[in-house]
Chains A and B, each alone.
Chain A
């Protein structure tokens, strides 16, 4: 038993490093999507103190809109642009109809409002696009669907071109967001707004503009995630659960840390895959990916209450 837990898995890893690489790669692909979603949640939380329960449904809604528009006869890339426009309209409406009237209400009210947004989007999405599973327009978007075979150490490593595309696009999006947050006027404003609303307003930052912007960024992220995940599993309301994978990421990385979201996402993606393959399947009958991340996050929090990357903030009284 001890051997199965502490020795055998590592022996397997060393014996077949090509397979270990394969597992880590699969984990990385999921991880980068978790990181993206967590990033969207962090941005919204930092700028408006709202935990956006609707992030998951926004993934579904974006993917459904994209496929739906394509089926209505728009060219694939025009559909992408139109979907982005829809996500912008959504961000604008949420700011106008939900956030603005509720500003100053307790955080929990705003949280509940995002549950309302979720339910609304589910209903609205079903009315317009129907409830059945749809095929993602992967090939139509020019995403290659073949695979590349490598032979590290004389072994075998298969990389799906689809996954490579996901990693590249998501990586570019993350890099773009970081550049945006670090260097642009709006990015700095988003970071500032997270710290103090009054101060932010006094230096010329418009809360409303920033809110629309971060919700739009969350919408953009939702679209990329929706395409990526939809390409693997089809587009249905079940896709929503991918957003809940971001929860343990946030527990680890903290609700306000941008680097925490990215590193936490990648870590969880890879660790949950490793655990599933080397411990979960042989010892627990598999299917551990649904809960492993949460357990991992809880254990980490037990030892580091401020999360992995959180700074211990000592309030001055």
Chain B
């Protein structure tokens, strides 16, 4: 099977669509540091795509390029067949790309429910004065948004912390709320930066299950960064391997595992 050729079917029988997002020859520099060096890869519709590599390899930077937080000096980003002009993060979000952060970014003063509700902001369309007066389409819209949020709360099994200010939650639950907020946007593409970092085995299993279920039930395309090789191999359809800002491997987990450059890069790294 040649995964790069277009539509394909995974080993577990899921149909993967055409190219959703394509990164072409991306180079990103911070002063003298080259975080990403001439990297190209693509993400297909419906796929779970992993980016792996040692610390400082440039994985988060790549996710930040996709989500508009960083702007590469060179290269092009293509989304659904169109070249994307340089965009601000909010514009990318409004295109249907949601994300989580390596160092959790939540609204600490707000409850779990309110946090997740902010994920619906891009879906609130009623004119402002109607929203303020709670009138016309605004109320109906709010009901729809609520229902969607409740669905996600059930799905991620966080009913018991609905009203808790997220600042008080333990780390593992914070990660889950952050995922919930991203899901609330009903994204076409979901970007997860180390969703399982710092979790214990049980929490990791839960999170893996959620990621698979999201992909399966909502058909959401997912790009994720993960350190735990075992997890990556289980979850992902295809893997990009980065090291020192370069791409050193790209393919199915099996292909990547056998790649000599990848093996070398991972020797001596703590895994």
Q: Determine how close the nearest CB of chain B comes to the CB of A49; give it in whole angstroms.
A: 14
* B132: contacting residue among A180, A192, A204, A316, CB under 8 A: A180
Say whether B167 contacts A313, CB under 8 Å.
yes
* B110: contacting residue among A180, A195, A204, CB under 8 A: A195
Q: Determine how close the nearest CB of chain A comes to the CB of B184; give it in whole angstroms.
A: 8
* A185: contacting residue among B67, B99, B128, B167, CB under 8 A: B128
Interface string of B129-147 (1 = CB under 8 A from A): 0011110001000100000
Q: Which residues of A contact B67 (CB under 8 A)?
A: 202
Q: Determine how close the nearest CB of chain B comes to the CB of A52; give it in whole angstroms.
A: 21
Say whether A199 contacts B110, CB under 8 Å.
no
Q: Which residues of B contact A189 (CB under 8 A)?
A: 118, 121
Known: A199-B101, A201-B88, A203-B93. A192 touches B107 (CB 8 A): yes
Interface string of B160-200 (1 = CB under 8 A from A): 00000001000000000000011001000000000000000
Say whether A203 contacts B119, CB under 8 Å.
yes
Interface centre among B105, B122, B167 (most CB of A within 10 A): B105
Taking the complex as formed, is B210 at the interface, i.e. its CB lies under 8 A from any CB of chain A? Answer: no
Say whether B118 contacts A203, CB under 8 Å.
yes
Q: Determine how close the nearest CB of chain A comes to the CB of B108; give it in whole angstroms.
A: 6
* A201: contacting residue among B69, B122, B131, B132, CB under 8 A: B69
How many angstroms from the CA of A256 to the CA of B69 in the assembled complex? 27
Taking the complex as formed, is B89 at the interface, i.e. its CB lies under 8 A from any CB of chain A? Answer: yes
* B121: contacting residue among A179, A204, A207, A316, CB under 8 A: A204
Q: Determine how close the nearest CB of chain A comes to the CB of B70; give it in whole angstroms.
A: 12
How many angstroms from the CA of A188 to the CA of B133 in the assembled complex? 15
Q: Which residues of A contact B218 (CB under 8 A)?
A: none
Known: A185-B121, A188-B118. A202 touches B128 (CB 8 A): no
Taking the complex as formed, is A206 at the interface, i.e. its CB lies under 8 A from any CB of chain B? Answer: yes
Closest to A181 in B: B132
Q: For chain B, residues 88 to 116, give those with C-beta under 8 angstroms from any C-beta of chain A.
A: 88-91, 93-94, 98-99, 101, 105-110
Q: Which residues of A contact B90 (CB under 8 A)?
A: 201, 204-207
Taking the complex as formed, is A198 at the interface, i.e. its CB lies under 8 A from any CB of chain B? Answer: yes
Taking the complex as formed, is B117 at the interface, i.e. its CB lies under 8 A from any CB of chain A? Answer: yes
Q: Which residues of B contact A313 (CB under 8 A)?
A: 108, 167
Taking the complex as formed, is B3 at the interface, i.e. its CB lies under 8 A from any CB of chain A? Answer: no
Closest to B133 in A: A179
Q: Which residues of B contact A201 (CB under 8 A)?
A: 69, 88-90, 93
Count of A residues near B, CB < 8 Å?
28
Interface centre among A179, A198, A202, A205 (most CB of B within 10 A): A202
Interface size class of B (residues with CB under 8 A): 20 to 34
Say whether A196 contacts B118, CB under 8 Å.
no
Say whether A185 contacts B107, CB under 8 Å.
no
Closest to B141 in A: A185
Taking the complex as formed, is B124 at the interface, i.e. its CB lies under 8 A from any CB of chain A? Answer: yes
Q: Which residues of A contact B69 (CB under 8 A)?
A: 198, 201
Q: Which residues of A contact B128 (CB under 8 A)?
A: 180, 184-186
Q: Which residues of B contact A180 (CB under 8 A)?
A: 128, 132
How many angstroms from the CA of A31 to the CA of B115 in the assembled complex? 33
Q: Which residues of B contact A200 (CB under 8 A)?
A: 107, 118
* B108: contacting residue among A176, A196, A198, CB under 8 A: A196
Q: For chain B, residues 38 to 93, give those with C-beta under 8 angstroms from any C-beta of chain A.
A: 67, 69, 88-91, 93
Taking the complex as formed, is A191 at the interface, i.e. its CB lies under 8 A from any CB of chain B? Answer: yes
Closest to A46 in B: B109
Known: A179-B132, A184-B128, A204-B122. A199 touches B106 (CB 8 A): yes
Q: Which residues of A contact B94 (CB under 8 A)?
A: 204
Known: A179-B132, A185-B128, A192-B110. A198 touches B121 (CB 8 A): no
How many angstroms from the CA of A204 to the CA of B121 in the assembled complex? 7
How many angstroms from the CA of A194 to the CA of B67 in the assembled complex? 21
Q: Which residues of B contact A205 (CB under 8 A)?
A: 90, 121
Say whether B185 contacts A203, CB under 8 Å.
yes
Name the 9 nearest CB pairs between A and B, nearest first: A204-B93, A195-B107, A199-B105, A201-B89, A184-B131, A185-B124, A204-B122, A206-B90, A179-B132
Chain A interface (Cβ within 8 Å of chain B)?
Answer: 176, 179-180, 183-189, 191-192, 194-196, 198-207, 256, 313, 316
Q: Could you show 10 A-B contacts with beta carbons less than 8 Å apart? A: A180-B128, A180-B132, A183-B131, A185-B124, A192-B107, A194-B109, A198-B105, A199-B101, A205-B90, A207-B90
| Interface contacts beyond A196-B106, A199-B105: sample of 12 additional A-B pairs, CB < 8 Å, sorted by A | A183-B131, A184-B124, A185-B124, A196-B107, A199-B106, A199-B107, A199-B181, A201-B69, A202-B89, A202-B105, A203-B185, A204-B93
Chain B interface (Cβ within 8 Å of chain A)?
Answer: 67, 69, 88-91, 93-94, 98-99, 101, 105-110, 117-119, 121-122, 124, 128, 131-134, 138, 142, 167, 181-182, 185
